[in-house]
Amino acid sequence: MANRVEEWRDAAELVDQNDNDWPVLLQSGFIETNKLTGEHEKIWAEFLSCPLRGIYRIEQVDERLIPGARNSMVFIQRHRGEIRRRGGGWLVIRMPQEDANKLASSLVTWVAFDIEVFSYSGVQVFKLTPSSELEGRVLSATD
């Protein structure tokens, strides 16, 4: 049986503890993610945002929260310019910790961000900051 414990509250608190207006890319892991295109896109975007728009609401949710596709690489690539302009960003994603570490290792070479990964049971929070190098680094999270 799969472990369904997901600490969305702790993930939201981490994002809000940091005094910034960085964009928050959210991959809720819902199977309806592929409905984010088409005539009902706005309704699906609100539904897919519910982990950080509902009871564990982040500050400035309307200005910061971007629900997105299942493919993390494409999702981050699509918003890379915005993350760089604003000095950083967050990726909040439903996935096991071991998968998050693999994803972080792949992302650093592809998007040139320094990445810290914070694990909250089945929810991972990636702190993305632009790297001054051609290639980013995976940093140890002190949480």
> What are the structural domains of the chain?
8-139 (3.40.50)
Q: In this predicted model, what pLDDT tens digit does every residue of 66-78 receive, in sequence order?
A: 988 777 888 888 8
**pTM assigned to the model:** 0.86
Distance CA 31, CA 109 (A): 28
Give the phi and the psi of residue 18 in degrees, each rounded to 5: -90, 125
The residue that leads in pLDDT, 94 or 109, is 94
Would you call 105 helix, strand, or coil by DSSP? helix
Of 12, 15, 5, the residue nearest 121 (C-alpha): 5
Across the chain, mean pLDDT equals 84
Distance CA 28, CA 48 (A): 6
Predicted pLDDT at 16: 92
Q: What is the pairing mode between strands 65-67 and 24-27?
A: parallel
Q: Which of 4-18, 101-115, 122-136 has the highest mean pLDDT?
A: 4-18
Q: In this predicted model, what pLDDT tens digit does every residue of 16-32 receive, in sequence order?
A: 998 678 999 998 888 77
Distance CA 120, CA 15 (A): 12
